[in-house]
Amino acid sequence: MNREELGFSIKMGGQDEVDARLFADILNGVLDLSLLIAKDQGDSSDFNIVVKDTQKGSFIIELMSQVSFDPNLFNMQNMQYMKTILDMIVTFFNIKKHLKGDKPKKVESSDEMISIQNMENCTINVTKNEYNLYAEAGDKMIAQMFPNYNKGEFVITYDSEPKLCVKSNEIIYMKEEIDLEPFEDYREIENIPNLWLHIKKPDFIGNSKWDFVYSTHKSSKTIGATIEDKAFLNLVKNGEVNINAKTSILAKVHIVTHINELNEIINEKFSVVEVLEIKNSTGHTQLGI
């Protein structure tokens, strides 16, 4: 077997000592992230991380990453394999720093690159593969590393220079797990038809989605839809409209359908733009909402 080794260090700010649980969380997290990325890169390697030494001055762990390759598969690309893994770990952390505990405001694709806009309207660019792997598992893995973290900054160094610095005031963002969806290429189709929707689960208090039963000539399905008609919501909250288990509405519904390259529906998003009629349990229809 051919072996590549690359040394790197993790520095945790604060005192020279570290809690054993935190030490285990950090090491296990780095190993889990590395194995996630290694598996994504291919199965031609045997990957491991060993602890080489510790240093004083905060708490610094000296680590050695080791990758063994089948000699028949060894090439120049494999020689950069470990650095690729560490680079992607750093990218994951930078995405998490960028999002600051929130979901992205916007995610857009251009060729094989993904543009991630955060809630402060700042943008970073990563590869599509990096974003999707982060969304599928990377974000959760990082969050699982930091529940017991009470040190200062968090720094990863290799190639003789710091590659990542999470400042002490950014650690809180590392602890927040964000529910993300991988980015998929699709066509987007928008329609605003008038539809009858049977109210299944209204929201009388908050601003969450309402559940409706949406019937077509072929079938019925339950959908979740946001309500954008403020006038209708005010009538409901003020008790001026009778809503019960047999209430249906005729509404202008904004439907956004995402379709992949096989013309399969990936997902649909519904929002009620305007309520036109309300049919209550007695069959009476209220007009002019």
Residue 79 pLDDT level (bands cut at 50, 70, 90): low
Q: Which residue has the higher pLDDT, 195 or 267?
A: 195
What average pLDDT is seen over the chain? 86
Structure confidence by residue, pLDDT tens digits, 15-72? 888 889 999 999 999 999 999 998 887 654 577 788 888 887 778 888 887 766 665 5
Q: Which residue has the higher pLDDT, 83 or 156?
A: 156
Does residue 230 contact residue 281 with C-beta atoms inside 8 Å? no
pLDDT surpasses 90 at 186: no
Q: What is the predicted pLDDT for the residue at 137? A: 96
Q: What is the predicted pLDDT for the residue at 72? A: 57
pLDDT surpasses 90 at 205: no
pLDDT surpasses 60 at 277: yes
Stated length of the chain: 289
- Specify whether the backbone of 217 is left (phi greater than 0), alpha (psi in -120 to 50) or beta: alpha
Beta bridge partner(s), residue 248: 198, 279
Alpha-helical segments (H) within the chain = 20-41, 76-79, 81-99, 128-133, 139-145, 171-175, 230-237
Q: What is the predicted pLDDT for the residue at 110? A: 80
d(CA 258, CA 85): 32
